[in-house]
Structure 1
Amino acid sequence: MRLSGKVAIVTGAGSGMGLETAKLFAQEGAKLVLSDINQDRIDALVDDLSSQGFTVEGVLCDVSDRSSVEGLLAKAIESYGHYDILVNNAGIMDGMEGIESVTEEKWDKIFAVNTKSLLYAIQPAVRYFKENGIKGSIVNNLSLGALYGARAGVAYTASKHAAAGITKNTAFIYGPDGIRCNAIAPGAVATNISETMTDVDMDSAQRIGLGRATMPHPGSPLEAAQAILFLASDEASYINGAILTVDGGWASI
């Protein structure tokens, strides 16, 4: 099993790609600390995995709140004595607004969940890995919006571009310590992220929709989770600072 003996933390594990990542990690031997902002979803997942004999803890966590994230990381140490893998999967969409119409309130909310959350999680994780000599693996779930300008509104696009920069810089700075930081950039994946969209700007959405003409069929959350598993595992030991597109070839068209 690829993650035997590993302890993994996964945010946004209650649905979509996070849920499938949690299931795969469990099947590959990891002990898990799973978080979500929705208590019912995380409870259901923990019950499901526990009933199958997997070792798992669930934590209600708001990734936009530093103390909440710190509590999540502390839970892994409290429960298992250490952690080796951090998957930053939680994220939200904007309303497809261009810069003309996005509000500062929306901008701040998107950045808090999609970008500042990485500071809250990766900063203490890196310190912990270094202090304990752990060759930790960090995987961030980005988006093609981290690489292109026509996949979402300005706030989401900017937040994910920033997350790409965090990924690359962390990989470069801490690679000598044996710490890896990589990311996936999914294209159209069938998840429930649209639930987080509010006040959609239809004019901007129509413009952004032009790019969908070249979009392959939507991928499954499991297909994205398989990429996360690979980057998290020792099979990717020589991969650091990579952003792996998981998009059926959309980015190449």
Structure 2
Amino acid sequence: MAGRLDGKVAAITGGASGMGRATAMRFLEEGASVVIGDLNMSNGESAVKEAGDAGFGDKIAFARGDVSEETDVEALVALAVERFGRLDIMFNNAGVGGAFGPITDTTVEEWDYTFDVLVRGVFLGIKHGVRQMKRQGDGGSIINTASIAGLSGGAGPTAYSAAKAAVANLTRATAAELAQDRIRINSIAPGAIRTPLLHSGRAAEMEALAQDKTPWPVLGEGSDIAGAAVFLASGDSQFVTGHTLVVDGGALAAAPNFWGFGQDAMFKKKAGLNRGTTGDKSDVRDVNNSK
């Protein structure tokens, strides 16, 4: 049976763990060749091994890179072309939790780091993905990872929410710009998905919190995002562009308040920087509520 992505070539940032890794494996199963980019070398090597063990060793490649660095993103696209001859799908998925805590306790450096990864990384992925697709002349699909945090207050930390709102808007703006080139640009807005980024080393606690805020009786999995990505990457969505597809088990419909806003709210107690699965250590500090 033919796959929905037979003959296509995809590049996935943040493809070595969580939603990106699940999507990479699903794309391979659907017939695509995949280049994954990730800052975490060990996770990248593990993902390549998993693909090889599943019989896809000749259809996967890995490049270590930082999505906030233009040369790294450009190199990821170049590797896809060098290894597989073209680029049809660019999934700008790399992410971190970023700055968290009260706005009064967020440093400029933490804010900038969050936007560098979550917004600048998407901008660079669109820029260099589109350049290659235009050279090919037969269109393509760009997919960006947004979040329900960017569509509603209370669904994520402040800086993260603002950055993901920017991703959703960037998706719409570039979709309008590039429609004449038959390059579709859409985003996926996940809710609580069971990944290492959600866990942050406290799997039971964070999953219980997320489940309490999600109307669907089970949490989302990376495979749920992979399914949405296959739709947006394939011809099934050929007339869909500028859209943000919410995949959240009804959390946004229920007006999520993941962080709470009372005096004892979680986000008022700690501040710092969540670097996710990059392999770099996160920072956490107590908040001085006397400020």
When structure 1 is superposed on structure 2, of 217-226 and 176-185 the one drifting more is 217-226
Structure 1 position 213, deviation (Å): 5.0
Q: Deviations over 1:68-103 (max 9, x none)?
A: 111111101111111100001110113432322211
1:73-84 to structure 2, matched below 5 A, reads 73-84=77-88
Structure 2 residue 152 is matched with structure 1 residue 148: yes
Per the normalisation by structure 2, the TM-score is 0.79
Out of 166, 169, 172, which is 1:165 matched to? Answer: 169
Where does the alignment leave 5 or more consecutive residues of structure 2 unmatched? 202-208, 255-291
Whether the 8 Å contact between 1:92 and 1:196 is mirrored in structure 2 is no
* 2-structure distance, mates of 1:128, 1:41: 27
Structure 2 residue 97 is matched with structure 1 residue 100: no
Q: Provide the aligned length of Structure 1 versus Structure 2.
A: 242
Match of 2:273 in 1: none
1:52-67 to structure 2, matched below 5 A, reads 52-54=54-56, 55-67=59-71
Amino acid at match of 1:244: L
Structure 1 position 231, deviation (Å): 0.8
* 1-structure distance, mates of 2:171, 2:140: 14
Amino acid at match of 1:15: S
Structure 1 position 181, deviation (Å): 0.5
Q: State the secondary structure of the residue aligned to 2:44.
A: helix
Q: Deviations over 1:130-152 (max 9, x none)?
A: 23203110111111011012112
Match of 1:35 in 2: 37
* 1-structure distance, mates of 2:121, 2:213: 32
Structure 2 residue 250 is matched with structure 1 residue 249: yes
Q: State the secondary structure of the residue aligned to 1:215.
A: coil
When residues 165 and 182 of structure 1 are mapped into structure 2, their CA distance, relative to the original with a 3 A threshold, is same
Amino acid at match of 2:83: S
Match of 2:240 in 1: 239
Amino acid at match of 2:45: D
1:114-125 to structure 2, matched below 5 A, reads 114-125=118-129
Higher helix share goes to which structure?
1
* 2-structure distance, mates of 1:120, 1:94: 18
Match of 1:12 in 2: 14
Match of 1:86 in 2: 90
Structure 1 position 235, deviation (Å): 0.7
Q: State the secondary structure of the residue aligned to 1:64.
A: coil
Q: Deviations over 1:149-169 (max 9, x none)?
A: 211221101110111111111
* 2-structure distance, mates of 1:101, 1:237: 45
Whether the 8 Å contact between 1:94 and 1:152 is mirrored in structure 2 is no
Structure 1 position 60, deviation (Å): 0.7
Match of 2:116 in 1: 112
Q: State the secondary structure of the residue aligned to 1:174.
A: helix
* 2-structure distance, mates of 1:108, 1:134: 36
Higher Rg of the two aligned structures: 2
* 2-structure distance, mates of 1:161, 1:149: 10
Amino acid at match of 2:41: Q
Out of 88, 106, 130, which is 1:126 matched to? Answer: 130
Amino acid at match of 2:170: I
* 2-structure distance, mates of 1:117, 1:98: 25
Per the normalisation by structure 1, the TM-score is 0.90
When residues 68 and 215 of structure 1 are mapped into structure 2, their CA distance, relative to the original with a 3 A threshold, is same
When structure 1 is superposed on structure 2, of 93-102 and 42-51 the one drifting more is 93-102
Amino acid at match of 1:143: S
Match of 1:139 in 2: 143
Aligned-residue identity in percent = 38
Q: State the secondary structure of the residue aligned to 1:252.
A: coil
Amino acid at match of 1:42: G
Amino acid at match of 2:31: G
Whether the 8 Å contact between 2:19 and 2:225 is mirrored in structure 1 is yes
* 1-structure distance, mates of 2:133, 2:164: 25
Q: State the secondary structure of the residue aligned to 2:37.
A: strand
Q: Deviations over 1:94-121 (max 9, x none)?
A: 3432322211011000001000011211
Q: Deviations over 1:183-233 (max 9, x none)?
A: 110111111114769xxxxxxxxxxx8x97542342111111111111111
When structure 1 is superposed on structure 2, of 83-92 and 211-220 the one drifting more is 211-220
Match of 1:3 in 2: 5
